[in-house]
Structure 1
C-alpha cells in the first residue's frame, strides 16, 4: 500500500476517534471518582481499550465506503444526543431511557429539547458533517491495508474484555445505546400466569409493607450480632424480629427479584415455565397494590411490577451507575398512608440500598465509619476502607427503615413490614468483591420483620409463630407464601408451610 494512502487512513481514523472522544465517550468517564494514581491508570487504560475496540468496528464498517459515509454521521449525531445527558446530568443510558424514548408521547419528549441540548446537537452535527466533507477525498480504509489487522485485533479486544468482566464496555457510550436497545426488545426470562380463580379474603384494614433492599448481607446488621452498631435506631424499636439465616442462590437483582415476587421456588430455575406474581393474586383479592422504587426496572421483572395498580419509579433515568442517583429516603415522600378501614393494601419499596459505589448511596452525615473509599476502582482501596463505606450504607438503611416505621406507627391499620434484601455482598472474602459472585456472602441476604401493636392484637398466633422461627434457616421462597398467609387468601393454592407466620 502506498505510504501517502496509509498516512491518509491513519490521519482520518485518528481524527475521527478524537471527535468521538470529545462528543461521546468521555461522557462515560467524566463523573467517575478515580481516587488514587492507580485508579487513574486503570480507568485510563480502560478508556484506551474501549476506543481501540471501537476503532476496530468503525474500520470494518468503513470498508463499505458509501454506507459508511451515510451511516457514521447519523450514528455520531444520535450518540452525541445521548452523551449530552450523560455529560450534564450523569444520566444512565439504560433500558429505562430507551423505553422512555420509544414509548413516551411526543409532547413529553419535547421537554428535553432545551437550548443547551439543541446547541450541543447543532455543534455535533456541524462538526461531523464538516469532518466528512473535508475528508471526502481521503483514503479511509482498505482490505489491503496493514491497519486492517489492528482493526480485527480491536474487535477481538471487545469480546476478550467483556468475557473477563461482564458489561465492562456495554455500559459505556456508545456501546450502551446499542446493547440496551437490544435488551429492550428482549423477551423476559419469566412468563407470568394469569390468576383466573375467584380469589378473596375476609380480612380488612390490613396494611402490608414490603421493602426490598439491595446488596445487604445479614451478618453486617448489629441486630444479628455484628460487632459494629450498624442498627442504632432499629435496635431501640419494639416488635422487630430479624432473621440471620436467610438463603438465596441468586446473587444479582435481575434473577432474585422475579423469584422473590412470584411463586417460583429457588429450586426451579427453568425457563419458559409460568409463575404467578404476588401482585396478581392480591389484585384479585381486592388489595390496593402500590410500587415505589428507586431502581430502574429491568426486563426480567418489569412485567411483575406493572401488575401493581399504582407505580412510582423515583429518578428513573439515574441507575446504579450514576453518581447523582437520588437517595432512598426520597421514596418516603411518595408514600401516603391510606386509613380506609375497609381497604387492604400492600406497598412495596425497592431500594438502591448498598449497591456499589457505596458512597453514592448515602448523605455525608452517615459517613460514621472512616476512613472511606475515594475511588470507584476497587483495586486502589484498602479492604478496611471498603468495609467502612459499606457499613455506612447499613447505617443509612437503619435510618430509612426507622423513619418508615415511625410513619407506620401513626396508622390505624393492622400493619406489618417485611424487609428482605435481594442478595448479599462479598467484601473481600476469598478475594471476591460486590455481588453476582458464587460465594456464601452473596447468598445470605438480610431479612427482618416489624409489626404494629394492632397487628399483634389481631394475629397473636402469627406473631408467636414468627418469633419462634427467628433462628430457623429459611429461603427467599418465604415472601410469596408469607404475604398470602398474612392476607388469609382463599381460593388460591400457596404453601402455608413456607410462611414464617404459620
Structure 2
C-alpha cells in the first residue's frame, strides 16, 4: 500500500489510465485497422479517442467514487474483474460485447458457462482484475470539496465536447462503426448494452401478441418433428457439398431435401425465436408451438438447450427429465431427445401432432464432449476450451464429429417416423445459427449479422417427408419458413399463413 496520500482527482485519473492501458488494445487495434492514421484527420481521431476514453471513464469513476467511499471502490474493483473477463473472451474468441452478445451471456446456463473455464482466464482475472483491484482498494487519497468536484466534472464534459466537435469530419465513420466501437470499450460495452438488453426485453415481453384463430382442414393423421440445431454451420454438411462425409446416413435416405438458409441472428435466443415466429420482427408474436397448442394440435417440446421464447404448452420436458426414463450409455447426449419418440406419438389422442427437439450438439467450445466416443470419426480432436491453442485441423475434427453425430440423430428421428402406420410424417431440421472455427481469427458465434462472417449465419435446412404434400424446388429460404411449412403439412388453415414461405406445395 502507498504510504503517502494521493490527490483524489489524480487517483481517479490513474484508474482511468490504467483502465485504458489494460483493456483497450482490441478497441484501438480495430480503429487502426479501419482508418488511415497517416492523415491529419485519422491521427486526430486516434488521439481524440484515446483522450475521450480516458476522460469519459474519469468522469464516470469520479462520480462513482466521490461520495461512495469504500463501497464505490469495491464496485470499481468488480468492474475491473468483469473487464478482465470480457477482454479474455474478446481476445480468445473474437467476440464483440454488444447487446446481442449480452443476451447470449444472460441466457447461458451453468453447464455451458463452466465449459469456458481455463487457466488463461484465471490469469486474466489475477493480472488484470485482482492486482489492479488491490491498488484501487488500498491507495489512500486526499478528499476534495464539492466545489472542486463540480469544477472537475464540468471541465471533463467540456473537454469531451471539444474533442467531439474537433472530429466532426469523422462523425460518419464513428457512426458507421458505433456498434463495434461500443462493444470493445470498457466498461461501457457491457454496462450500457446490459441496460439496453433489459429495456428491450421488458418492452418485447410486456404481452405476447396473439395470432388470429386457426382451423384444421382435415382430420388425417399427421406429425411433424421439428429439430432445432445448435451452432450448426451449413458448409460442414456433406449434404451441401462438404468434402468430408459428415452425413453418411442421411445421404442414403430417400426423400431428404436440402435448402439454402440464412439465420436471422447469430445467437440462440434470436435464432430460435425466428424459427418459431411467422415473420422476422422485434415484436413478440405468438410462436408456433403456442399457436398450434391453442388451436387443438398436440404439441410436445423436448430440450437439451436453453434460450427459448416463452413456451405455453402442456408437454415440456428437459434433458434431465428425459434422462430419468432413458436407458443406455448415450442418454447423457442429445439423442436422449429421441428416446421414446414413437411411443409418445402413438399415445396421442390427437390426429395432429408437432414435436420440437431442441438440441445443443454443436455448441462450443467443448465440441469434443458433445458426442459419444464412438462417433469420433475424425481425429485428433481439440480438447481445450481455448480454441486458438488447438491446431486448425484438431478444431475442425472435433466440430465435424458433432455434425457426424447430428446426422445419426436425424436418421434416428426419420427411422422412428417411418415406423408409424397411417400417418403422414415429416422431419424439419434447421439450426439457430452457424459457427466460426478460426476463420479471420474468429471463434464460435454472436457477432452482429452485419459484421459476422458467413459461417455464423449460413445454416442447414434439411427436410424429410412421407405421405404429405410435395416439397417445392425453392433453394433459398429463411428460418421463418418453418412456421408456414408446419401449418401446411399439418393442414392448419390460418389468416397468417403465407404460401410463398412454405416449402410444401
Matches within 5 A, 1:68-87: 68-69=68-69, 71-72=71-72, 75=75
Q: Secondary structure at the match of 2:344?
A: coil
Alignment-derived partner of residue 216 in structure 1: 232
- Tell me which of 299, 311, 315 is aligned to 1:306: 311
Alignment-derived partner of residue 273 in structure 2: 258
Alignment-derived partner of residue 348 in structure 1: 356
Deviations 1:250-275 (A, max 9, x none): 342454433332221xxxx6756x85
Shift of the 312–71 alpha-carbon distance from structure 1 to 2, 3 Å rule, reads: farther
Equivalents in 2 of 1:331, 1:357: separation in Å? 22
Q: Secondary structure at the match of 2:6?
A: helix
Alignment-derived partner of residue 23 in structure 1: none
Equivalents in 1 of 2:198, 2:490: separation in Å? 35
Deviations 1:431-451 (A, max 9, x none): 876564555555542122234
1:488 offset after TM fit, Å?
0.9
- Tell me which of 275, 289, 298 is aligned to 1:279: 289
Q: CA RMSD in A?
A: 5.9
Equivalents in 1 of 2:485, 2:232: separation in Å? 21
Equivalents in 2 of 1:225, 1:196: separation in Å? 41
Shift of the 402–358 alpha-carbon distance from structure 1 to 2, 3 Å rule, reads: farther
Shift of the 495–191 alpha-carbon distance from structure 1 to 2, 3 Å rule, reads: farther
Q: Secondary structure at the match of 1:183?
A: helix
Q: Secondary structure at the match of 1:337?
A: helix
Q: Quick check: 1:294–1:331 contact (8 Å CA) kept in 2?
A: yes
Shift of the 282–234 alpha-carbon distance from structure 1 to 2, 3 Å rule, reads: same
TM superposition score normalised by structure 2: 0.58
Alignment-derived partner of residue 359 in structure 1: 367
Alignment-derived partner of residue 296 in structure 1: 306
Equivalents in 1 of 2:189, 2:475: separation in Å? 43
Q: Quick check: 1:194–1:280 contact (8 Å CA) kept in 2?
A: no
Runs of 5+ unmatched residues, structure 2: 20-24, 30-51, 84-100, 110-132, 165-173, 321-331
Alignment-derived partner of residue 491 in structure 2: 488
Shift of the 204–378 alpha-carbon distance from structure 1 to 2, 3 Å rule, reads: same
1:5 offset after TM fit, Å?
3.6
Q: Secondary structure at the match of 1:391?
A: helix
Alignment-derived partner of residue 241 in structure 1: 256
Equivalents in 1 of 2:391, 2:486: separation in Å? 41
- Tell me which of 315, 336, 344 is aligned to 1:337: 344
Equivalents in 1 of 2:366, 2:248: separation in Å? 20
Shift of the 134–200 alpha-carbon distance from structure 1 to 2, 3 Å rule, reads: same
Q: Secondary structure at the match of 1:194?
A: coil
